[in-house]
Structure 1
């Protein structure tokens, strides 16, 4: 299906629109300073992702800030360090300041002229409004990762066909067509493991403009 034939884009928030990895890396620096040594960024982020994945079973209980706070505490314990709850909550609240990728605002501004835009991710309620303003979406268009595919049939207007704009490490969601954005890859795999494989939101805009000319 051509890009111009989709009605809705379901866009993952972290590592597609928001530079989560850089935000987490920066917020972990006080803990890493206490740890000492020179662990690599990839190593630390892999440990963080493993801990967060394990905590997501408690997402309904903890919320997003709680997951991040407990992740900070577990990392400290793994590294033989003591971290206070205040330090953990400070780390968790840093999520509100994670930067957008440079191309994200302009791409969202362009794409909303042609599609219904939905953003899929997790944030606390107090952070969703500000993030929505930065991305140009309404609060109801922010879809939690904890929500199942049933929300597709609960919308007041038809959404399909939908293209899921995500990163290569995310599994298929609700059997949707996928556009994989590999921001940190020098080259995209060939053949592509989805309908589209590109490098950035700016590339998605460029591909859409090409589709309009055909």
Structure 2
């Protein structure tokens, strides 16, 4: 299928629309200031992501802020540092200030002319309204990652969609969905992986817009 054959885009929020890594790195600086000679950014983020993955099975119990708070504390322990729960909660609440990638607002404005835009994200209830406003989408179109809409027959029926109508827009490492399309946004890679494991491998949301415009001309 071509880009113009899909009716909806299911877009992973973090690292596609929101610059999660930069937000996490900035919010970790108060902790890292206490450890001269701490590992570099890439290693710190790798360890942080490992901690988050290990905690993720407890997401329903902890919520997003709780998960980030525990991740902050466990990362501090890995680095041989002490961190208070107050510092952990301050880190967790930084999520509201994580910035959008520069091309995200314009891409969303363009793409909504051609698709229904659905955004998959982990956020607490108090952060969802602000995020919808920043992305220019309706609250019903901000979906929890845990809901797995591509396999929710009731949701698909209620929204007059089939998996084949939906293009998942995600980051490298995403598992190809069974019946939907997959577009990888490879922002942190000078070149996308070869061979491309998805239907489309694109460098940014701005490039997705450009590719869509080319498709319209064919």
TM-score, normalized by the shorter chain, greater than 0.5: yes
What are the within-5 Å matches in structure 2 for residues 1-214 of structure 1? 1-148=1-148, 149-151=150-152, 153-155=154-156, 156-160=158-162, 161-214=165-218
What displacement does 1:39 show?
Answer: 1.3
The answer to whether the 8 Å contact 1:65/1:124 transfers is: yes
SS in 1 for 2:134: helix
- How many residues are matched? 214
Structure 2, unaligned stretches of length 5 or more?
none
**1:20·1:98 contact (CA, 8 Å) conserved in 2?**
yes
- 1:42-72 CA-partner distances (Å, limit 9, x unpaired): 1000000000001111100100000000000
Alpha-carbon distance in structure 2 between the residues aligned to 1:187 and 1:151: 34
Instruction: State the shift of 1:205 in Å.
Output: 0.3
Measure the CA separation in 2 of the matches of 1:40 and 1:173: 34
Report the Cα distance in structure 1 between the residues aligned to 2:178 and 2:31, rounded to whole angstroms: 38
Moved more, 106-115 or 37-46: 37-46
CA contact (8 A) 2:176 2:198 kept: no
CA RMSD of aligned residues (A): 1.2
Give CA-to-partner distance per residue, 1:72-115, whole Å, 9 cap, x none.
00011111211111100000000010000000000000000100
Distance in 1 between the 2:153 and 2:101 partners?
27
TM-score normalised by L of structure 2:
0.94
TM-score calculated relative to the size of structure 1: 0.96
Which runs of no fewer than 5 residues in structure 1 stay unpaired?
A: none
